[in-house]
Chains A and B, each alone.
Chain A
Amino acid sequence: MKKEMICIVCPVGCHLSIDTDSLEVSGNKCPRGEKYARIEITNPTRVVTSTVKVNSVLQRRVSIKTTDAIPKEKIFELMAMLDSIDLKVPVKIGDVVLENVFDTGENVVVTMTLDE
Chain B
Amino acid sequence: MTYDYIIIGAGVVGTAIARELMKYQVNALMVEKENDVCNHASLANSAIVHSGHDPKPGTLKAKLNVEGNNLYEKLENTLDLPLLKNGALMVAFSEEDNKTLKTYYNQAIENGVEGVALLNKEDALKREPNLNPKVTMVLDLPTTKVTYPWEVTLAFAENAIDNGLELKKSTEVKNIEKIDGLFIVTTTKGESFKTHSIINAAGAFTGKIAAMIEKNTPYTIKPRRGEYFVIDRHVKGFINHTLYPTPTALGKGVLIVPQVHGETLIGPNSVFQDDPENIDNTKSGLSYVRKESTKLCDSIPFNKVIRTFTGVRASSTYDDFYIKESDEVKGFIHVAGIDSPGLSAAPAIAEYVVNTIINAEQSFTKKTDFIEKRHGLKLFHQMTDEDKKEAFRVEPRHGNLICKCEKITEADIVHAVNSSVPGDTVKGIKKRSRAGAGLCQGGYCEHNVIHLIARELKKDVTKVEYYDKESYILQSETKVKK
Interface residues of A (CB under 8 A from B): 51-53, 61, 82-83, 85
Known: A53-B479, A61-B479. 10 other contacts (CB 8 A): A51-B478, A51-B479, A52-B479, A53-B480, A61-B478, A82-B479, A83-B478, A83-B479, A83-B480, A85-B479
Which of A52, A61, A83, A85 has the most C-beta atoms of chain B within 10 angstroms of its own C-beta? A83
12 residue pairs of the A-B complex, CB under 8 angstroms, read A51-B478, A51-B479, A52-B479, A53-B479, A53-B480, A61-B478, A61-B479, A82-B479, A83-B478, A83-B479, A83-B480, A85-B479
With a cutoff of 8 Å between Cβ atoms, the chain A residues found around residue B479 in the complex are 51-53, 61, 82-83, 85
How many chain B residues sit at the interface, stated as a range, is under 10
Expressed in whole angstroms, the Cα–Cα distance for A52 and B480 within the complex equals 10
With a cutoff of 8 Å between Cβ atoms, the chain A residues found around residue B478 in the complex are 51, 61, 83
**Number of residue pairs across A and B with beta carbons under 8 Å?**
12
Expressed in whole angstroms, the Cα–Cα distance for A82 and B478 within the complex equals 10
Expressed in whole angstroms, the Cα–Cα distance for A82 and B479 within the complex equals 7
Q: Shortest Cβ distance from A51 into chain B, in angstroms?
A: 7
Expressed in whole angstroms, the Cα–Cα distance for A40 and B480 within the complex equals 33
Query: Chain A interface secondary structure, helix, strand, loop or mixed?
Result: strand
B482 nearest in chain A by CB position: A83
Expressed in whole angstroms, the Cα–Cα distance for A32 and B481 within the complex equals 44
Chain B 465-482 interface 0/1 with A at a Cβ cutoff of 8 Å (1 = within): 000000000000011100
Closest 7 CB pairs of A and B: A83-B479, A53-B479, A52-B479, A82-B479, A61-B479, A53-B480, A51-B479
Q: Shortest Cβ distance from B439 into chain A, in angstroms?
A: 26
Q: Shortest Cβ distance from A55 into chain B, in angstroms?
A: 13
Expressed in whole angstroms, the Cα–Cα distance for A106 and B478 within the complex equals 24
A83 nearest in chain B by CB position: B479
Q: Shortest Cβ distance from B195 into chain A, in angstroms?
A: 49
With a cutoff of 8 Å between Cβ atoms, the chain A residues found around residue B480 in the complex are 53, 83
Expressed in whole angstroms, the Cα–Cα distance for A83 and B480 within the complex equals 7
Expressed in whole angstroms, the Cα–Cα distance for A68 and B69 within the complex equals 71
Q: Shortest Cβ distance from B479 into chain A, in angstroms?
A: 5
User: B residues 438-482 with Cβ under 8 Å of A?
Assistant: 478-480
Q: Shortest Cβ distance from A113 into chain B, in angstroms?
A: 20
Expressed in whole angstroms, the Cα–Cα distance for A85 and B479 within the complex equals 8
Q: Shortest Cβ distance from A86 into chain B, in angstroms?
A: 8
Expressed in whole angstroms, the Cα–Cα distance for A53 and B477 within the complex equals 11
Expressed in whole angstroms, the Cα–Cα distance for A59 and B71 within the complex equals 51
Expressed in whole angstroms, the Cα–Cα distance for A61 and B479 within the complex equals 9
Q: Shortest Cβ distance from B13 into chain A, in angstroms?
A: 45
With a cutoff of 8 Å between Cβ atoms, the chain B residues found around residue A82 in the complex are 479
Q: Shortest Cβ distance from A75 into chain B, in angstroms?
A: 15
Q: Shortest Cβ distance from B475 into chain A, in angstroms?
A: 16
Q: Shortest Cβ distance from B454 into chain A, in angstroms?
A: 13
Q: Shortest Cβ distance from B59 into chain A, in angstroms?
A: 60
With a cutoff of 8 Å between Cβ atoms, the chain B residues found around residue A85 in the complex are 479
Expressed in whole angstroms, the Cα–Cα distance for A96 and B479 within the complex equals 18
Expressed in whole angstroms, the Cα–Cα distance for A6 and B479 within the complex equals 33
B480 nearest in chain A by CB position: A53
With a cutoff of 8 Å between Cβ atoms, the chain B residues found around residue A61 in the complex are 478-479
Expressed in whole angstroms, the Cα–Cα distance for A47 and B136 within the complex equals 69
With a cutoff of 8 Å between Cβ atoms, the chain B residues found around residue A53 in the complex are 479-480
A85 nearest in chain B by CB position: B479
Expressed in whole angstroms, the Cα–Cα distance for A31 and B41 within the complex equals 67
With a cutoff of 8 Å between Cβ atoms, the chain B residues found around residue A51 in the complex are 478-479
Expressed in whole angstroms, the Cα–Cα distance for A4 and B465 within the complex equals 45
Q: Shortest Cβ distance from B477 into chain A, in angstroms?
A: 9
Expressed in whole angstroms, the Cα–Cα distance for A58 and B148 within the complex equals 38
